Structure 1
């Protein structure tokens, strides 16, 4: 493959980031990342009786401190609530509030459903190739052990 294709791929990644920024207006202080966490929490709640912070961080593949920060922000926005685990008071359980479920219904179900309709008969295989390529490149660049270092920055 030639370098021009990697440049086109990285340009497409910039456009992909903009897609999340162009979703319908979010409530004040809410970001697309918050919606991503709400979606993850909704999915986990469908499978589990109770959801812990570590469940959300594991599901999204991000650190516990970054998820804790986002969940604290979502709690202050009234989208999630924290409940002490009755069996182990050191554990905090998380669940969507009615407001959080409304955010899920609009920004995930309705908006993403609308977006899907706009694509029409998109080729699922092509779509999944894109998803898998992005995941593969992310894994490569997130492992900085082998990445080149700018001279003088070692």
Structure 2
């Protein structure tokens, strides 16, 4: 229809709205309601750190965590020290080279990450309640395709 915004404009505005909601940490706050220890453990950088470790059951070196969350190694080291102190991650030496540490989620850290992921899934399900099953499946496939196509290399 004439005068309607182009799809790229609509999508860009939707992405901005999602990003603002994430920056406000609404989902993380909902996931830790009633748990003061968990609430103090969750800020954006700490959650990105814990989330990066979630897919690495054998752990990651600090340098890989830093790359995964977009911070420098000194910042990742400080976060590691904080999260070890909070009991959310543990540090172990890398097999074959004791100079390097592997960082893994503790059970407490895994429980926290799982709770936030579950809250996200509940929120997605709530947002999809007005969608038919076919619409939800189509949206999921198209969103995954869109994210896979998103430019990641700096120009």
What is the TM-score when the length of structure 2 is the normalising length? 0.63
Matched, 1:70 2:79: yes
Q: Which residue in the other structure is 1:107 paired with?
A: 116
1:79 to 57, 73, 88: 88
**2: CA distance, partners of 1:94 / 1:131:** 28
Gaps of 5+ in 2: 129-135
Matched, 1:42 2:39: no
**1: CA distance, partners of 2:41 / 2:62:** 19
**1: CA distance, partners of 2:101 / 2:75:** 16
The Cα of 1:23 is off from its aligned counterpart by 3.1
The Cα of 1:40 is off from its aligned counterpart by 0.8
What SS class does the counterpart of residue 73 from structure 1 fall into? helix
Q: CA RMSD in A?
A: 3.4
20 and 76 in structure 1: CA distance in 2 versus 1, 3 angstrom threshold? same
Q: Which residue in the other structure is 1:23 paired with?
A: 30
Q: Which residue in the other structure is 1:14 paired with?
A: 20
What is the TM-score when the length of structure 1 is the normalising length? 0.64
Gaps of 5+ in 1: 144-154
What SS class does the counterpart of residue 40 from structure 2 fall into? coil
**1: CA distance, partners of 2:14 / 2:115:** 30
**1: CA distance, partners of 2:89 / 2:123:** 26
2:62 to 45, 53, 56: 53
Matched, 1:124 2:140: yes
